[in-house]
Amino acid sequence: MSEELKDTASSKYETDVGVHVTIPMDYAGIDGDYRFTSDEVSAYILDEKVDASVLRAYDLRILPMAMLMYLFSALDRGNVSNAKSDHLDTDLHFHGNQYNIMLTVFYVPFCVCAYPGTFLTKKYGAHIMLPLYMTGWGVMAMCNAAVKNFAQCLAVRLLLGIFEGCFGASLIMYLACFYTRSELGKRMAAWYSMVPHGSGAFSGLLSYGLFQVHSKLKGWQLLFLIEGGLTLIAASMSYAVLPTYPHKARFLSPAQKTAGVMRLLRDSSNQVGSLLTWREWIEPAKEWETWAWGLYCLFYGVANQTASTFLTQIVGRFGFSTVKTNLLTVGPYSCATFVLWLFVWSSDRQRERTFHVMCANALVVIGSITLACLPATDHKAGYFCTFLIASGSFVPSCLFQSFAQNNTTKENSKAFRSSVMNFGSNAGGIVTANIFLQRFAPHYVTPLIVSAAIAGTGIVYLGCLRMYMVIDNKRRNKAQGVNWTSLDVPTSALVDGKKNPSFRHFL
Protein backbone atom coordinates (compact mmCIF):
# COMPACT_ATOMS: atom_id res chain seq x y z
CA MET A 1 0.00 0.00 0.00
CA SER A 2 1.36 3.45 -0.95
CA GLU A 3 2.11 6.10 1.71
CA GLU A 4 -0.62 8.31 0.23
CA LEU A 5 -3.21 5.53 0.51
CA LYS A 6 -2.06 4.74 4.03
CA ASP A 7 -2.69 8.34 5.05
CA THR A 8 -6.19 8.44 3.57
CA ALA A 9 -7.03 4.90 4.60
CA SER A 10 -6.69 5.32 8.33
CA SER A 11 -8.54 7.03 11.12
CA LYS A 12 -7.08 8.81 14.20
CA TYR A 13 -9.06 9.47 17.33
CA GLU A 14 -8.44 10.26 21.00
CA THR A 15 -9.41 7.64 23.59
CA ASP A 16 -10.68 8.27 27.12
CA VAL A 17 -7.12 8.28 28.46
CA GLY A 18 -5.91 10.82 25.89
CA VAL A 19 -3.99 8.38 23.70
CA HIS A 20 -4.18 8.90 19.94
CA VAL A 21 -4.96 5.67 18.09
CA THR A 22 -4.68 5.00 14.37
CA ILE A 23 -6.86 2.40 12.67
CA PRO A 24 -5.43 1.38 9.28
CA MET A 25 -7.90 0.19 6.66
CA ASP A 26 -6.29 -3.24 6.54
CA TYR A 27 -6.69 -3.65 10.30
CA ALA A 28 -8.29 -7.05 10.88
CA GLY A 29 -9.91 -6.40 14.23
CA ILE A 30 -9.52 -8.30 17.50
CA ASP A 31 -7.42 -11.43 16.97
CA GLY A 32 -7.75 -11.06 13.21
CA ASP A 33 -11.49 -11.84 13.23
CA TYR A 34 -12.65 -8.47 11.90
CA ARG A 35 -14.57 -7.58 15.05
CA PHE A 36 -14.33 -3.99 16.27
CA THR A 37 -15.28 -2.03 19.34
CA SER A 38 -17.91 0.72 19.17
CA ASP A 39 -15.18 3.35 19.53
CA GLU A 40 -13.24 1.91 16.63
CA VAL A 41 -16.32 1.79 14.44
CA SER A 42 -17.39 5.34 15.30
CA ALA A 43 -13.91 6.75 14.76
CA TYR A 44 -13.22 4.94 11.52
CA ILE A 45 -13.22 7.18 8.42
CA LEU A 46 -14.26 5.25 5.35
CA ASP A 47 -12.32 6.36 2.29
CA GLU A 48 -14.80 7.13 -0.51
CA LYS A 49 -12.64 5.57 -3.23
CA VAL A 50 -12.14 2.36 -1.28
CA ASP A 51 -15.85 2.25 -0.40
CA ALA A 52 -16.74 2.67 -4.08
CA SER A 53 -14.31 -0.08 -5.07
CA VAL A 54 -15.88 -2.49 -2.55
CA LEU A 55 -19.39 -1.74 -3.77
CA ARG A 56 -18.27 -2.12 -7.38
CA ALA A 57 -16.69 -5.49 -6.57
CA TYR A 58 -19.94 -6.70 -5.00
CA ASP A 59 -21.98 -5.51 -7.97
CA LEU A 60 -19.69 -7.29 -10.41
CA ARG A 61 -19.17 -10.55 -8.53
CA ILE A 62 -22.00 -11.19 -6.05
CA LEU A 63 -25.03 -9.42 -7.48
CA PRO A 64 -24.96 -11.00 -10.98
CA MET A 65 -24.69 -14.45 -9.41
CA ALA A 66 -27.56 -13.71 -7.04
CA MET A 67 -29.67 -12.53 -9.98
CA LEU A 68 -28.85 -15.65 -11.97
CA MET A 69 -29.70 -17.91 -9.06
CA TYR A 70 -33.02 -16.21 -8.46
CA LEU A 71 -33.78 -16.32 -12.17
CA PHE A 72 -33.69 -20.11 -12.09
CA SER A 73 -35.59 -20.19 -8.83
CA ALA A 74 -38.35 -18.17 -10.50
CA LEU A 75 -38.21 -20.32 -13.64
CA ASP A 76 -38.45 -23.68 -11.88
CA ARG A 77 -41.09 -22.44 -9.46
CA GLY A 78 -43.39 -20.74 -11.97
CA ASN A 79 -43.03 -22.84 -15.13
CA VAL A 80 -45.91 -25.09 -14.05
CA SER A 81 -48.27 -22.34 -15.26
CA ASN A 82 -46.78 -22.52 -18.74
CA ALA A 83 -46.81 -26.32 -18.57
CA LYS A 84 -50.52 -26.32 -17.75
CA SER A 85 -51.24 -24.21 -20.81
CA ASP A 86 -49.60 -27.03 -22.82
CA HIS A 87 -52.00 -29.56 -21.25
CA LEU A 88 -49.79 -30.97 -18.48
CA ASP A 89 -52.93 -31.60 -16.42
CA THR A 90 -54.70 -33.58 -19.15
CA ASP A 91 -51.54 -35.53 -20.12
CA LEU A 92 -51.14 -36.63 -16.49
CA HIS A 93 -54.87 -37.37 -16.18
CA PHE A 94 -55.64 -34.78 -13.51
CA HIS A 95 -59.29 -34.43 -12.59
CA GLY A 96 -61.28 -32.05 -10.42
CA ASN A 97 -59.02 -29.71 -8.42
CA GLN A 98 -55.92 -31.93 -8.52
CA TYR A 99 -53.92 -29.19 -10.24
CA ASN A 100 -54.69 -26.84 -7.32
CA ILE A 101 -53.85 -29.61 -4.84
CA MET A 102 -50.47 -30.02 -6.54
CA LEU A 103 -49.81 -26.28 -6.16
CA THR A 104 -50.84 -26.36 -2.50
CA VAL A 105 -48.53 -29.31 -1.78
CA PHE A 106 -45.67 -27.31 -3.29
CA TYR A 107 -46.39 -24.15 -1.29
CA VAL A 108 -46.62 -25.83 2.14
CA PRO A 109 -42.91 -26.83 2.31
CA PHE A 110 -42.07 -23.69 0.34
CA CYS A 111 -43.40 -21.71 3.32
CA VAL A 112 -42.19 -23.89 6.18
CA CYS A 113 -38.65 -24.53 4.93
CA ALA A 114 -37.69 -20.86 5.12
CA TYR A 115 -36.99 -21.44 8.84
CA PRO A 116 -34.56 -24.39 8.64
CA GLY A 117 -33.17 -22.98 5.40
CA THR A 118 -31.94 -19.70 6.89
CA PHE A 119 -30.65 -21.47 9.99
CA LEU A 120 -28.59 -23.94 7.93
CA THR A 121 -27.36 -21.17 5.64
CA LYS A 122 -26.20 -19.08 8.58
CA LYS A 123 -24.72 -22.15 10.31
CA TYR A 124 -22.75 -23.65 7.42
CA GLY A 125 -22.30 -20.71 5.06
CA ALA A 126 -24.17 -19.38 2.06
CA HIS A 127 -21.36 -20.42 -0.30
CA ILE A 128 -22.21 -24.06 0.50
CA MET A 129 -25.92 -24.10 1.20
CA LEU A 130 -27.23 -21.86 -1.61
CA PRO A 131 -25.63 -23.99 -4.37
CA LEU A 132 -26.85 -27.10 -2.54
CA TYR A 133 -30.44 -25.85 -2.53
CA MET A 134 -30.14 -25.02 -6.23
CA THR A 135 -28.86 -28.47 -7.06
CA GLY A 136 -31.79 -30.03 -5.24
CA TRP A 137 -34.51 -28.10 -7.02
CA GLY A 138 -32.71 -28.38 -10.38
CA VAL A 139 -32.77 -32.17 -10.12
CA MET A 140 -36.44 -32.10 -9.11
CA ALA A 141 -37.32 -29.82 -12.02
CA MET A 142 -35.79 -32.32 -14.44
CA CYS A 143 -37.59 -35.19 -12.70
CA ASN A 144 -40.84 -33.29 -13.30
CA ALA A 145 -40.43 -34.09 -16.99
CA ALA A 146 -40.53 -37.84 -16.27
CA VAL A 147 -43.65 -38.05 -14.11
CA LYS A 148 -46.54 -40.15 -15.43
CA ASN A 149 -49.41 -39.41 -13.08
CA PHE A 150 -50.75 -37.16 -10.34
CA ALA A 151 -49.05 -39.03 -7.44
CA GLN A 152 -45.58 -38.84 -9.02
CA CYS A 153 -46.06 -35.16 -9.86
CA LEU A 154 -47.17 -34.50 -6.30
CA ALA A 155 -44.00 -36.12 -4.85
CA VAL A 156 -41.72 -34.14 -7.17
CA ARG A 157 -43.42 -30.82 -6.44
CA LEU A 158 -43.19 -31.52 -2.70
CA LEU A 159 -39.41 -31.98 -2.90
CA LEU A 160 -39.11 -28.99 -5.20
CA GLY A 161 -40.92 -26.89 -2.61
CA ILE A 162 -38.50 -27.98 0.12
CA PHE A 163 -35.39 -26.86 -1.76
CA GLU A 164 -36.98 -23.68 -3.11
CA GLY A 165 -38.29 -22.80 0.36
CA CYS A 166 -34.84 -23.08 1.91
CA PHE A 167 -33.38 -20.81 -0.76
CA GLY A 168 -35.53 -17.66 -0.90
CA ALA A 169 -35.13 -16.25 2.61
CA SER A 170 -31.49 -17.34 2.68
CA LEU A 171 -30.67 -15.22 -0.36
CA ILE A 172 -32.25 -12.12 1.22
CA MET A 173 -30.24 -12.69 4.38
CA TYR A 174 -27.10 -13.25 2.31
CA LEU A 175 -27.31 -9.94 0.43
CA ALA A 176 -27.87 -8.09 3.71
CA CYS A 177 -24.44 -9.38 4.79
CA PHE A 178 -22.77 -7.22 2.11
CA TYR A 179 -24.93 -4.20 1.30
CA THR A 180 -25.92 -1.31 3.57
CA ARG A 181 -29.52 -0.32 4.16
CA SER A 182 -29.47 2.48 1.58
CA GLU A 183 -27.97 0.13 -1.03
CA LEU A 184 -30.14 -2.89 -0.39
CA GLY A 185 -33.31 -1.68 -2.10
CA LYS A 186 -31.82 -1.42 -5.60
CA ARG A 187 -29.93 -4.70 -5.24
CA MET A 188 -32.99 -6.57 -4.05
CA ALA A 189 -34.87 -5.06 -6.98
CA ALA A 190 -32.20 -6.44 -9.29
CA TRP A 191 -32.76 -10.02 -8.23
CA TYR A 192 -36.48 -9.67 -7.55
CA SER A 193 -36.84 -8.43 -11.12
CA MET A 194 -35.88 -11.96 -12.08
CA VAL A 195 -39.39 -13.05 -11.05
CA PRO A 196 -41.28 -11.16 -13.76
CA HIS A 197 -38.38 -11.62 -16.14
CA GLY A 198 -37.69 -15.23 -15.15
CA SER A 199 -40.98 -16.94 -14.43
CA GLY A 200 -42.72 -14.49 -16.73
CA ALA A 201 -41.13 -12.95 -19.79
CA PHE A 202 -38.25 -15.41 -20.28
CA SER A 203 -40.32 -18.48 -19.48
CA GLY A 204 -43.11 -17.22 -21.72
CA LEU A 205 -40.73 -16.78 -24.64
CA LEU A 206 -39.06 -20.13 -23.98
CA SER A 207 -42.44 -21.85 -23.80
CA TYR A 208 -43.52 -20.10 -27.00
CA GLY A 209 -40.54 -21.65 -28.79
CA LEU A 210 -40.53 -25.10 -27.18
CA PHE A 211 -44.25 -25.66 -27.59
CA GLN A 212 -43.76 -25.46 -31.36
CA VAL A 213 -40.97 -28.09 -31.41
CA HIS A 214 -41.91 -31.47 -32.87
CA SER A 215 -40.31 -34.29 -30.86
CA LYS A 216 -41.16 -37.46 -28.97
CA LEU A 217 -41.42 -35.40 -25.79
CA LYS A 218 -44.24 -33.05 -24.94
CA GLY A 219 -43.51 -29.34 -24.96
CA TRP A 220 -43.94 -29.10 -21.19
CA GLN A 221 -41.45 -31.98 -20.73
CA LEU A 222 -38.83 -30.14 -22.79
CA LEU A 223 -39.49 -27.04 -20.69
CA PHE A 224 -38.81 -28.87 -17.41
CA LEU A 225 -35.69 -30.62 -18.75
CA ILE A 226 -34.04 -27.53 -20.19
CA GLU A 227 -34.77 -25.23 -17.26
CA GLY A 228 -33.72 -27.86 -14.71
CA GLY A 229 -30.47 -28.54 -16.55
CA LEU A 230 -29.61 -24.85 -16.72
CA THR A 231 -30.24 -24.62 -12.98
CA LEU A 232 -27.60 -27.30 -12.28
CA ILE A 233 -25.05 -25.38 -14.35
CA ALA A 234 -25.82 -22.17 -12.43
CA ALA A 235 -25.50 -24.04 -9.11
CA SER A 236 -21.95 -25.17 -9.92
CA MET A 237 -21.03 -21.62 -10.94
CA SER A 238 -22.39 -20.15 -7.70
CA TYR A 239 -20.30 -22.52 -5.59
CA ALA A 240 -17.13 -21.19 -7.26
CA VAL A 241 -18.09 -17.51 -7.01
CA LEU A 242 -19.92 -16.76 -3.75
CA PRO A 243 -18.02 -15.68 -0.59
CA THR A 244 -19.57 -16.01 2.87
CA TYR A 245 -18.82 -12.55 4.30
CA PRO A 246 -16.88 -9.44 3.20
CA HIS A 247 -13.77 -10.46 5.15
CA LYS A 248 -13.89 -13.89 3.47
CA ALA A 249 -14.10 -12.52 -0.09
CA ARG A 250 -11.00 -13.58 -2.01
CA PHE A 251 -11.55 -10.88 -4.62
CA LEU A 252 -11.11 -8.10 -1.99
CA SER A 253 -7.78 -6.73 -0.77
CA PRO A 254 -7.11 -6.53 2.99
CA ALA A 255 -8.01 -2.83 2.96
CA GLN A 256 -11.22 -3.56 1.08
CA LYS A 257 -12.12 -6.36 3.49
CA THR A 258 -11.89 -4.01 6.45
CA ALA A 259 -13.86 -1.37 4.58
CA GLY A 260 -16.47 -3.98 3.71
CA VAL A 261 -16.90 -4.89 7.36
CA MET A 262 -16.77 -1.34 8.70
CA ARG A 263 -19.38 0.01 6.28
CA LEU A 264 -21.84 -2.60 7.56
CA LEU A 265 -20.98 -2.01 11.21
CA ARG A 266 -21.50 1.71 10.88
CA ASP A 267 -24.77 1.11 9.10
CA SER A 268 -26.54 -1.40 11.29
CA SER A 269 -24.82 -3.64 13.81
CA ASN A 270 -21.77 -4.35 15.95
CA GLN A 271 -20.45 -7.50 14.36
CA VAL A 272 -20.27 -9.09 10.93
CA GLY A 273 -19.94 -12.81 10.36
CA SER A 274 -20.86 -13.68 13.93
CA LEU A 275 -21.51 -17.29 14.88
CA LEU A 276 -25.15 -18.26 15.03
CA THR A 277 -26.71 -19.57 18.23
CA TRP A 278 -30.25 -20.85 18.55
CA ARG A 279 -31.09 -18.24 21.20
CA GLU A 280 -29.99 -15.37 18.96
CA TRP A 281 -31.79 -16.81 15.95
CA ILE A 282 -35.11 -17.16 17.77
CA GLU A 283 -34.86 -13.87 19.70
CA PRO A 284 -36.89 -11.80 17.17
CA ALA A 285 -39.86 -14.13 17.82
CA LYS A 286 -40.39 -12.18 21.06
CA GLU A 287 -41.00 -8.94 19.16
CA TRP A 288 -44.49 -8.29 17.79
CA GLU A 289 -43.12 -6.41 14.79
CA THR A 290 -41.68 -9.66 13.43
CA TRP A 291 -45.14 -11.21 13.20
CA ALA A 292 -46.78 -7.98 12.06
CA TRP A 293 -44.42 -7.83 9.08
CA GLY A 294 -45.01 -11.50 8.38
CA LEU A 295 -48.78 -11.00 8.30
CA TYR A 296 -48.51 -8.18 5.77
CA CYS A 297 -46.38 -10.44 3.59
CA LEU A 298 -49.38 -12.78 3.37
CA PHE A 299 -51.48 -9.92 1.97
CA TYR A 300 -49.04 -9.03 -0.79
CA GLY A 301 -48.11 -12.68 -1.33
CA VAL A 302 -51.56 -13.46 -2.74
CA ALA A 303 -51.16 -10.92 -5.55
CA ASN A 304 -47.55 -11.95 -6.10
CA GLN A 305 -48.40 -15.62 -6.50
CA THR A 306 -51.42 -14.78 -8.65
CA ALA A 307 -49.15 -13.01 -11.14
CA SER A 308 -46.42 -15.65 -10.88
CA THR A 309 -48.57 -18.78 -11.13
CA PHE A 310 -51.89 -17.88 -12.74
CA LEU A 311 -51.24 -15.03 -15.17
CA THR A 312 -51.05 -17.48 -18.07
CA GLN A 313 -54.47 -18.86 -17.11
CA ILE A 314 -55.86 -15.32 -16.69
CA VAL A 315 -54.64 -14.37 -20.17
CA GLY A 316 -56.20 -17.64 -21.35
CA ARG A 317 -59.66 -16.12 -20.67
CA PHE A 318 -59.34 -14.37 -24.06
CA GLY A 319 -59.54 -17.71 -25.88
CA PHE A 320 -56.29 -17.59 -27.84
CA SER A 321 -54.17 -20.63 -28.75
CA THR A 322 -51.65 -22.12 -26.28
CA VAL A 323 -48.69 -20.66 -28.18
CA LYS A 324 -50.19 -17.16 -28.46
CA THR A 325 -51.34 -17.17 -24.83
CA ASN A 326 -47.78 -17.82 -23.63
CA LEU A 327 -46.45 -15.12 -25.93
CA LEU A 328 -48.98 -12.60 -24.58
CA THR A 329 -47.65 -13.06 -21.02
CA VAL A 330 -44.33 -11.49 -22.05
CA GLY A 331 -45.77 -7.95 -22.22
CA PRO A 332 -47.21 -7.75 -18.67
CA TYR A 333 -44.12 -9.32 -17.13
CA SER A 334 -41.76 -6.99 -19.00
CA CYS A 335 -43.82 -3.98 -17.93
CA ALA A 336 -43.75 -5.27 -14.34
CA THR A 337 -39.96 -5.27 -14.41
CA PHE A 338 -39.85 -1.64 -15.58
CA VAL A 339 -42.39 -0.56 -12.94
CA LEU A 340 -40.45 -2.42 -10.24
CA TRP A 341 -37.27 -0.50 -11.05
CA LEU A 342 -39.18 2.78 -11.22
CA PHE A 343 -40.66 2.24 -7.76
CA VAL A 344 -37.32 1.16 -6.29
CA TRP A 345 -35.50 4.15 -7.77
CA SER A 346 -38.11 6.50 -6.33
CA SER A 347 -38.14 4.67 -2.98
CA ASP A 348 -34.37 4.83 -2.54
CA ARG A 349 -34.23 8.44 -3.70
CA GLN A 350 -36.83 9.48 -1.12
CA ARG A 351 -35.68 7.02 1.55
CA GLU A 352 -39.28 5.85 1.90
CA ARG A 353 -40.81 2.39 1.58
CA THR A 354 -44.38 2.12 2.89
CA PHE A 355 -46.19 4.64 0.64
CA HIS A 356 -44.54 3.10 -2.42
CA VAL A 357 -45.69 -0.38 -1.41
CA MET A 358 -49.25 0.85 -0.78
CA CYS A 359 -49.35 2.42 -4.27
CA ALA A 360 -48.28 -0.91 -5.77
CA ASN A 361 -51.10 -2.63 -3.87
CA ALA A 362 -53.50 -0.10 -5.37
CA LEU A 363 -52.48 -1.12 -8.91
CA VAL A 364 -53.42 -4.72 -8.09
CA VAL A 365 -56.80 -3.66 -6.68
CA ILE A 366 -57.65 -1.53 -9.73
CA GLY A 367 -56.47 -4.12 -12.25
CA SER A 368 -58.18 -7.09 -10.58
CA ILE A 369 -61.57 -5.42 -10.02
CA THR A 370 -61.65 -3.92 -13.51
CA LEU A 371 -60.76 -7.23 -15.16
CA ALA A 372 -63.39 -9.05 -13.12
CA CYS A 373 -66.05 -6.58 -14.29
CA LEU A 374 -65.08 -6.61 -17.98
CA PRO A 375 -66.57 -9.09 -20.44
CA ALA A 376 -64.13 -11.68 -21.75
CA THR A 377 -64.69 -10.37 -25.27
CA ASP A 378 -63.07 -7.01 -24.40
CA HIS A 379 -59.53 -8.14 -25.17
CA LYS A 380 -57.79 -4.75 -25.24
CA ALA A 381 -59.06 -3.41 -21.91
CA GLY A 382 -58.76 -6.84 -20.31
CA TYR A 383 -55.18 -7.26 -21.49
CA PHE A 384 -54.32 -3.80 -20.11
CA CYS A 385 -55.63 -4.94 -16.72
CA THR A 386 -53.11 -7.80 -16.71
CA PHE A 387 -50.38 -5.15 -16.99
CA LEU A 388 -51.73 -3.40 -13.88
CA ILE A 389 -51.95 -6.66 -11.91
CA ALA A 390 -48.42 -7.74 -12.85
CA SER A 391 -46.94 -4.27 -12.29
CA GLY A 392 -48.29 -4.00 -8.75
CA SER A 393 -47.67 -7.60 -7.72
CA PHE A 394 -43.88 -7.68 -7.63
CA VAL A 395 -43.02 -4.31 -6.05
CA PRO A 396 -43.89 -5.27 -2.42
CA SER A 397 -41.70 -8.39 -2.64
CA CYS A 398 -38.71 -6.13 -3.02
CA LEU A 399 -39.53 -2.95 -1.12
CA PHE A 400 -41.25 -4.47 1.89
CA GLN A 401 -38.50 -7.04 2.37
CA SER A 402 -35.99 -4.19 2.14
CA PHE A 403 -38.13 -2.19 4.60
CA ALA A 404 -37.89 -5.01 7.15
CA GLN A 405 -34.14 -5.37 6.68
CA ASN A 406 -33.78 -1.59 7.11
CA ASN A 407 -35.46 -1.86 10.53
CA THR A 408 -33.47 -4.90 11.70
CA THR A 409 -30.13 -3.87 13.15
CA LYS A 410 -28.78 -7.20 14.40
CA GLU A 411 -27.22 -9.48 11.80
CA ASN A 412 -28.46 -12.74 13.30
CA SER A 413 -31.98 -11.34 13.77
CA LYS A 414 -32.28 -10.88 10.00
CA ALA A 415 -32.25 -14.65 9.52
CA PHE A 416 -35.36 -15.35 11.59
CA ARG A 417 -37.26 -12.31 10.35
CA SER A 418 -36.51 -13.20 6.74
CA SER A 419 -37.92 -16.65 7.46
CA VAL A 420 -41.14 -15.28 8.98
CA MET A 421 -41.68 -12.88 6.11
CA ASN A 422 -40.98 -15.49 3.46
CA PHE A 423 -43.40 -17.81 5.21
CA GLY A 424 -46.06 -15.12 4.95
CA SER A 425 -45.43 -14.23 1.31
CA ASN A 426 -45.18 -17.87 0.24
CA ALA A 427 -48.35 -18.72 2.17
CA GLY A 428 -50.03 -16.38 -0.28
CA GLY A 429 -49.44 -19.16 -2.81
CA ILE A 430 -51.54 -21.53 -0.72
CA VAL A 431 -54.38 -19.00 -0.72
CA THR A 432 -54.05 -18.39 -4.45
CA ALA A 433 -53.96 -22.10 -5.27
CA ASN A 434 -57.27 -22.56 -3.49
CA ILE A 435 -59.16 -19.60 -4.94
CA PHE A 436 -58.19 -19.96 -8.62
CA LEU A 437 -60.10 -23.22 -8.87
CA GLN A 438 -61.06 -24.97 -12.08
CA ARG A 439 -64.76 -24.25 -11.56
CA PHE A 440 -64.04 -20.52 -11.92
CA ALA A 441 -62.20 -20.96 -15.25
CA PRO A 442 -61.77 -19.43 -17.73
CA HIS A 443 -62.88 -15.97 -16.51
CA TYR A 444 -61.85 -16.31 -12.83
CA VAL A 445 -64.19 -13.49 -11.72
CA THR A 446 -64.51 -14.59 -8.08
CA PRO A 447 -60.76 -15.24 -7.60
CA LEU A 448 -59.93 -11.81 -9.03
CA ILE A 449 -62.35 -10.09 -6.64
CA VAL A 450 -60.95 -12.03 -3.66
CA SER A 451 -57.39 -11.14 -4.70
CA ALA A 452 -58.36 -7.44 -4.94
CA ALA A 453 -59.99 -7.53 -1.49
CA ILE A 454 -56.86 -9.02 0.08
CA ALA A 455 -54.64 -6.41 -1.60
CA GLY A 456 -56.97 -3.67 -0.34
CA THR A 457 -56.77 -5.05 3.18
CA GLY A 458 -52.98 -4.89 2.85
CA ILE A 459 -53.15 -1.17 2.07
CA VAL A 460 -55.13 -0.45 5.25
CA TYR A 461 -52.92 -2.74 7.35
CA LEU A 462 -49.66 -1.21 6.14
CA GLY A 463 -51.06 2.28 6.66
CA CYS A 464 -51.72 1.42 10.31
CA LEU A 465 -48.23 -0.04 10.71
CA ARG A 466 -46.68 3.10 9.26
CA MET A 467 -48.78 5.30 11.55
CA TYR A 468 -47.47 3.43 14.58
CA MET A 469 -43.86 3.90 13.47
CA VAL A 470 -44.35 7.63 12.80
CA ILE A 471 -45.89 8.10 16.26
CA ASP A 472 -43.11 6.08 17.92
CA ASN A 473 -40.42 8.12 16.14
CA LYS A 474 -42.07 11.37 17.29
CA ARG A 475 -42.31 10.05 20.86
CA ARG A 476 -38.60 9.19 20.87
CA ASN A 477 -37.67 12.59 19.42
CA LYS A 478 -39.75 14.41 22.02
CA ALA A 479 -38.19 12.41 24.85
CA GLN A 480 -34.66 13.26 23.63
CA GLY A 481 -35.35 16.82 22.48
CA VAL A 482 -34.14 16.16 18.91
CA ASN A 483 -35.63 15.83 15.43
CA TRP A 484 -33.94 12.69 14.15
CA THR A 485 -34.77 10.32 11.35
CA SER A 486 -33.26 6.85 10.90
CA LEU A 487 -30.40 8.49 8.99
CA ASP A 488 -29.30 10.43 12.08
CA VAL A 489 -29.04 7.50 14.50
CA PRO A 490 -25.47 6.87 15.76
CA THR A 491 -23.92 3.44 15.25
CA SER A 492 -23.77 2.73 18.98
CA ALA A 493 -27.56 3.01 19.20
CA LEU A 494 -28.07 0.39 16.51
CA VAL A 495 -26.41 -2.34 18.55
CA ASP A 496 -29.46 -2.72 20.81
CA GLY A 497 -32.00 -1.96 18.12
CA LYS A 498 -35.41 -0.77 19.26
CA LYS A 499 -34.44 -1.12 22.93
CA ASN A 500 -32.17 1.91 22.58
CA PRO A 501 -34.03 5.25 22.95
CA SER A 502 -32.02 6.64 20.01
CA PHE A 503 -33.38 4.05 17.57
CA ARG A 504 -35.62 5.39 14.80
CA HIS A 505 -37.87 3.39 12.48
CA PHE A 506 -37.04 3.50 8.78
CA LEU A 507 -40.31 4.34 7.05
- What is the rounded distance in angstroms from the CA atom of residue 62 to the CA atom of residue 464? 36
The stretch 489-493 carries a mean pLDDT of 64
pLDDT, greater one: 192 or 337: 337
User: What is the band of 502 on the pLDDT scale with cuts at 50, 70, 90?
Assistant: confident
Element (H, E) at 13: strand 10-14
DSSP result, 404-434: HHHT--SHHHHHHHHHHHHHHHHHHHHHHHT
Residue ranges, comma separated, of all CATH 1.20.1250.20 domains in the chain are 51-243+257-266+281-499
For 349-391, the pLDDT digits (tens) are 888 889 999 999 999 999 999 999 999 889 999 999 999 999 9
**Is 0.85 topped by the overall pTM?**
no
For 17-72, the pLDDT digits (tens) are 343 444 454 555 555 566 666 667 666 777 788 888 989 999 999 988 988 888 88
Q: Dihedral, CA atoms, 347, 294, 311, 376, nearest 10 degrees?
A: -100
CATH of domain 51-243+257-266+281-499: 1.20.1250.20
Give the residue from 168, 170, 187 showing the smallest Cα distance to 76: 168
Element (H, E) at 11: strand 10-14
Q: Using omega within 30 degrees of 0 as the cis cutoff, is the peptide bond preceding 442 cis?
A: yes
For 149-189, the pLDDT digits (tens) are 999 999 999 999 999 989 987 887 788 788 876 677 677 76
Give the pLDDT of residue 256: 86
